[in-house]
Amino acid sequence: MTAWGWSGAPRFGGVHHRNISIEVFKSKPRLRPHIQQLSQLGQHPASGTGRFSTTVFTKEEEKDRSTKRKMTDATYHPMSGLWQPTQIQKLHYGPDSVQTHLLGCLPLPSTKAFIITGKSLATKTPLVKQVEELLGGQHAGTFSNIGEHAPVAQLDEATSLVSKDGSIDTVISIGGGSPIDSAKAVSHRLHEKNGNWLHHIAIPTTLSASECTMMAGFTQPDGVKTGVRAPQLVPHVVLYDATFAVHTPERLFTSTGMRALDHAVELLYHPTAAEMPARWTCLQAAGALFEYLPKYKKDPKDQDTVTKLQLAAFASLGFLGTNLKGGLGLSHGLGYALGSPYGIPHGITSCLTLGHVVKLKAGDPASAEQVARLLPFIGESRSGDDRKDAEKVGDRVLQLVRDLELDHDLRNYKVGKDQIPVITKRASGQEEGELYKKVEALL
């Protein structure tokens, strides 16, 4: 297929995204076949803009959502909003944090823990074996075949293994977003079966920040990303260990760092992201990512730099909380439209989309006002013109991608120009109209 790239971002006005989420309840199984058909148009619930997504809730969860977790938009003029914390109990960080703290994070002395991870970590590093030995008699098993974008067939295998042992009460995910999301999805499935959630300890080795969210994404056989969400899916414990992360390939680590930057920027104009603490921490996160990603590239084994980047990744998404309405934003929506259907890692999709989306959002005064706040955090001065300042942020994002020597176009991927209408429809949820044209112009 013909390779193609991103053109310069046009100056469009504000883009308003319409998210449609279809909820399937246990009490209405007859609806599931119809929802599955609609989900062919869908994407991961965190992805944003306007596509159908399949989000499965139990009756208990739906009651909780309708009575206790009503969504509240955050406004800047006047300053108003709501922050609802997640269920995370502990965040340990620093070299050797797994060795030092893992056993103390198990919920019970009698706990049986199951490990979910990927093949590379299990076969090319000593990390999984290290955790297994640390657990000793509390290790109940390991599934090490989770692939990129968490294919549902592998998720089915992992679920089957865990469900066969009723003594398992804890899942430990080791790796990036796919193992972490898979562990969440396994917990959701078991809860549907027996009413119990697994205690989840996440040991991230990338900067994708899946450990921060209440969503679990996985890929259907047709390549479309779907998922589930529930407040109980947020890991209870996160262990950031630089001695684990230094085993991650440099390109994977830096590209997922761009994914974290994508989170931080899009939360600034997310409709339910609270000013405190979400937007404040996103500003700090973006500044740290701009500072430390280039330093990491120069010295990928510097554990202090790695730890600072891990904390920046957490700050990019860890304080959104459970007051989440819709998706994260247009860059994420494009990322899911490009990612699993074409085999492009989500870290790379952020490299391709974020800078251009920021420049497009500069045409929306409310979004531009938020994005412009980033300039002092990345060493720039504000001019007083929010549109120009937001466009400057977009330019800096594009330059950072180049400085990190990451992909800034699709020439290395099998995506032809004939796929532009398909991607545009997936990302925008429309087949024509103003939003469709604006997204198409980005491509």
Which residues does 126 contact at the CB level (< 8 Å), separation at least 6?
none
Q: Looking at the domain assignment, is residue 30 inside a domain?
A: no
Q: Looking at the domain assignment, is residue 165 inside a domain?
A: yes
Residue 220, pLDDT > 90, answer no
> Which tops the pLDDT comparison, 243 or 55?
243
Q: Looking at the domain assignment, is residue 79 inside a domain?
A: no
Q: CA end-to-end span of the chain, whole Å? A: 16
Tokens for 400, please give them: 């950072």
What's the confidence (pLDDT) of residue 70? 66
What's the confidence (pLDDT) of residue 52? 31
Q: Last residue of some domain: 203, 230, 247?
A: 247
Verify that 344 and 225 share a domain, yes or no.
no
Q: What burial letters (b/e) apply to 333-362, b meaning 16+ CB within 10 Å?
A: bbbbbbbbbbebbbbbbbbbbbbbbbbbbb
What's the confidence (pLDDT) of residue 437? 77
Name the helix (H) or strand (E) containing 10.
none
Q: Looking at the domain assignment, is residue 70 inside a domain?
A: no
Map residue 361 onto helix, strand or coil: helix
Domain that includes residue 112, residue range: 90-247
Verify that 236 and 289 share a domain, yes or no.
no
Q: Residues 331, 335, 338, 341: what is their CA dihedral angle, to the nearest 10 degrees? A: -150
Give the integer Cα–Cα distance in Å for 174 and 258. 20
Map residue 174 onto helix, strand or coil: strand
Q: Last residue of some domain: 227, 247, 267?
A: 247
Verify that 193 and 282 share a domain, yes or no.
no
CB atoms within 10 A of CB 125: 17
Verify that 233 and 123 share a domain, yes or no.
yes
Beta bridge partners of 200: 171
Residue 214, pLDDT > 60, answer yes
Which residues does 401 contact at the CB level (< 8 Å), separation at least 6?
258, 351, 355, 407, 408
Domain of 100: which CATH number?
A: 3.40.50.1970
CB atoms within 10 A of CB 174: 30
Q: Last residue of some domain: 229, 247, 265?
A: 247
Verify that 296 and 403 share a domain, yes or no.
yes
Verify that 183 and 299 share a domain, yes or no.
no
Return the DSSP state at 164: T
Summarised one tens digit per residue, pLDDT across range 171-211 is: 999 999 999 999 999 999 999 999 999 999 999 999 999 99
Number of domains observed in the structure of the chain: 2
Helix and strand numbers, DSSP H then E, in the chain: 17, 12
Verify that 285 and 197 share a domain, yes or no.
no
Q: Looking at the domain assignment, is residue 105 inside a domain?
A: yes
Summarised one tens digit per residue, pLDDT across range 356-409 is: 999 999 999 999 999 999 999 999 999 999 999 999 999 999 999 999 999 988
Q: Looking at the domain assignment, is residue 76 inside a domain?
A: no
Map residue 4 onto helix, strand or coil: coil
Return the DSSP state at 151: B
Pairing of strands 52-57, 20-25: parallel
Verify that 208 and 304 share a domain, yes or no.
no
Tokens for 66, please give them: 């309708």
Give the integer Cα–Cα distance in Å for 393 and 380. 9
Q: What angle do CA 55, 264, 48 make, to 5 degrees?
A: 30
Q: Looking at the domain assignment, is residue 67 inside a domain?
A: no
Residue type, 302: D
Domain of 380: which CATH number?
A: 1.20.1090.10
Among the residue ranges 89-98, 249-258, 335-344, the one predicted with the least confidence is 335-344
Verify that 200 and 139 share a domain, yes or no.
yes
> Which tops the pLDDT comparison, 325 or 207?
207
Residue 26, pLDDT > 70, answer no
Give the integer Cα–Cα distance in Å for 367 and 287. 18
Verify that 103 and 243 share a domain, yes or no.
yes
Give the integer Cα–Cα distance in Å for 132 and 174. 11
Verify that 129 and 189 share a domain, yes or no.
yes
Q: Looking at the domain assignment, is residue 286 inside a domain?
A: yes
Do residues 83 and 278 touch, judged by C-beta distance below 8 A?
yes
> Which tops the pLDDT comparison, 56 or 105?
105
Verify that 238 and 299 share a domain, yes or no.
no
Residue 29, pLDDT > 90, answer no
